[in-house]
């Protein structure tokens, strides 16, 4: 069995590479990644010498290059993680989001069609459902919730999902889609809420909370996401969408205060800044379908997962200090100065 993983030098893709090499020692894993600002070969360093692993630097929008890779590698399964993934960046400039998330997906779908790949899996997001109101804890996203996007990021992910479903219906391509809630864990790029707050606390920098910090996200430890995708690509029904999430809803302020407490820091570091434009209020997943069909349930709750994540950031300072001392500093200045 050969699995081609795109975006494997990023946060979730990198964790998935590690997970699959550990869980399926007989599989060949090929990682294709363009190494954008979010891709980091340090994440894959522990497996670079593994004979069952191969890294190829390539852009999923480069049709010729991607076809060449399919020609040589002939993967059984393709799992597409490659994407521009940060909402705030999509608000600044959405062009690359459309190129990578939509056109890149199209190239991969065409490659799977051309080379007869047995399964294409699209890693999508709960953000395609838009948001839920605050204070309505009875409401959840199901697979039947209409697509209703808010940010250019979520619009690009929703477009890709529609394209994947169109290739299934029209070309009979064997596809599956998963829509997961917010992930956290090791190798998370420090522009996202949890790693940003951890690294800022460790550097005694202000903690920029958007608006009043009331927005709610449904946090999932990244390894639970990896296990869900592993189940879907092996046992999920072709043509189906699976929501992934585990009832770990927290307001942003609760998340930030938990991190502060775990690191024994002061809440004085919290700084309320201008809210994100179009800010989604609440995400919450109903995972009944994946539980009933595939027996998946999350195994790590937020209290345990956040402790493990903080420990990882304490033990792997070189990984993230290297990022925040590089060109990311320019982004940080631009996004947070005078906010
Ligand atoms: P990330 O930004 O950490 O990593 C993205 C990876 O894709 C990077 O390694 C980058 O180099 C690579 N990439 C970007 N453009 C590329 C291109 N044109 N060709 C090849 N590689 C390219 O993202 P992430 O947080 O790991 O998210 C992975 C996937 O999961 C995305 O599709 C995202 O939409 C989805 N998702 C993320 C979350 C989350 O909480 N982070 C939740 C649900 C779904
Ligand atoms: P983020 O990690 O960017 O994920 P997403 O927008 O895809 O859910 O943000 C999570 C939440 O944290 C979101 O409500 C925005 C908020 N947030 C802040 O309050 N401050 C920050 O500096 C960042 C990056 C996010």
- Is 209 a domain residue? no
Beta-carbon-side half-sphere exposure of residue 43 (alpha carbons within 13 Å): 28
- Nearest ligand by distance to the CA of 208: 2
Residue 227's domain comprises: 2-187+219-248+279-300
> How does residue 246 score in pLDDT terms, banded at 50, 70 and 90?
confident
Q: 46 versus 325: which is more confidently predicted? A: 46
- Minimum-distance ligand 2 atom for the alpha carbon of 207: 22
Q: pTM for the complete prediction?
A: 0.98
Check pLDDT > 90 for residue 11.
Answer: yes
Is residue 225 within 8 A of residue 12, CB to CB? The reply is yes
CA of 301 to the centre of ligand 1 (A): 23
Is residue 317 included in any domain, yes or no? no
In a domain, 255, yes or no: no
What local confidence, expressed as pLDDT, does residue 258 receive?
98
Split into its structural domains, the chain has a count of 1
pLDDT in tens, 106-148: 999 999 999 999 999 999 999 999 999 998 999 999 999 999 9
Taking residues 180-191, report their average pLDDT. Answer: 98
Q: Is the pLDDT of residue 201 over 90?
A: yes
Could you read off the pLDDT of 152-185 as tens digits, one per residue?
999 999 999 999 999 999 999 999 999 999 999 9
Residue 196: HSE in the Cβ half-sphere, 13 Å Cα cutoff: 19
Report d(CA 318, CA 129) in Å as an integer.
37
Q: 6: closest CA among 41, 58, 63?
A: 58
Q: What pLDDT was estimated at residue 291?
A: 98
Instruction: Write the DSSP symbol of residue 282.
Output: B
Residue 193 resides in a domain = no
What was the pLDDT predicted at 216? 98
CA of 83 to the centre of ligand 2 (A): 17
- pLDDT of 267 > 90? The answer is yes
Q: Hey, what are 156's tokens? A: 């690009």
Mean pLDDT to the nearest integer, 185-190: 98
Nearest CA to ligand 2 atom 20: 209
- Report the percent of the chain where pLDDT is more than 70: 100
Task: Give a yes or no: residue 284 inside a domain.
Answer: yes
**What ligand has the least distance to the C-alpha of 90?**
2
Average pLDDT over residues 297-317: 98
Mean pLDDT over the full length of the chain: 97
Structure tokens at 301: 């709750």
In a domain, 195, yes or no: no
pLDDT over 90 (residue 326): no
In a domain, 271, yes or no: no
Cβ atoms of residues 247 and 139 within 8 Å: no
CATH of the domain at 94: 3.40.50.720
Q: How far apart are CA 313 and CA 126, in angstroms?
A: 26
pLDDT at 99 over 90: yes
Q: Residue 339: is its pLDDT beyond 90? A: no
Give the distance (Å) from ligand 2 centre to CA of residue 16. 23
Cα torsion through 270, 272, 278, 279, rounded to 10: 30
Residue with the nearest Cα to atom 14 of ligand 2? Answer: 215
Spatial CB neighbours of 182, under 8 Å, sequence gap ≥ 6: 193, 217, 218, 219, 220, 283
Looking at the domain assignment, is residue 15 inside a domain?
yes
Among protein residues, the one with the nearest Cα to ligand 2's atom 6 is 87
């Amino acid at each position: 069995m050969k699995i081609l993983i795109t975006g494997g030098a990023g946060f979730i893709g990198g964790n998935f590479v590690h997970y699959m090499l550990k869980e399926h020692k007989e599989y060949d894993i090929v990682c294709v990644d363009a190494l954008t600002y979010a891709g980091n070969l340090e994440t894959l360093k522990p497996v670079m010498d593994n004979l069952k692993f191969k890294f190829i630097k390539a852009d999923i929008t480069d049709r010729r290059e991607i076809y060449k890779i399919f020609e040589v590698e002939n993967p059984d399964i393709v799992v597409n993680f490659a994407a521009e993934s940060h909402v705030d960046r999509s608000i600044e400039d959405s062009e690359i989001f459309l190129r990578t998330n939509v056109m890149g997906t199209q190239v991969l779908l065409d490659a799977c069609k051309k080379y007869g790949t047995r399964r294409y899996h699209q890693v999508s997001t709960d953000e395609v459902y838009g948001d839920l109101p605050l204070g309505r804890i009875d409401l959840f996203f199901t697979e039947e919730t209409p697509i209703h996007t808010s940010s250019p990021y979520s619009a690009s992910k929703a477009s890709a999902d529609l394209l994947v479903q169109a290739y299934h219906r029209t070309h009979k391509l064997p596809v599956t889609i998963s829509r997961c809630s917010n992930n956290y864990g090791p190798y998370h790029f420090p522009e996202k809420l949890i790693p940003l707050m951890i690294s800022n606390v460790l550097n005694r920098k202000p903690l920029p909370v958007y608006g009043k910090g009331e927005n709610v996200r449904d946090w999932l430890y990244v390894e639970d996401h990896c296990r869900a995708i592993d189940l879907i690509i092996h046992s999920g029904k072709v043509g189906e969408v699976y929501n992934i999430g585990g009832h770990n809803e927290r307001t942003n302020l609760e998340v930030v205060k938990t991190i502060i407490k775990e690191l024994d820091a002061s809440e004085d570091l919290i700084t309320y800044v201008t809210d994100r434009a179009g800010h989604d209020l609440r995400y919450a997943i109903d995972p009944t379908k994946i539980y009933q069909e595939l027996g998946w349930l999350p195994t790590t709750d937020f209290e345990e997962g956040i402790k493990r994540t903080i420990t990882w950031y304490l033990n792997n300072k070189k990984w993230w200090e290297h990022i925040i001392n590089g060109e990311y500093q320019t982004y940080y200045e631009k996004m947070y100065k005078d906010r």
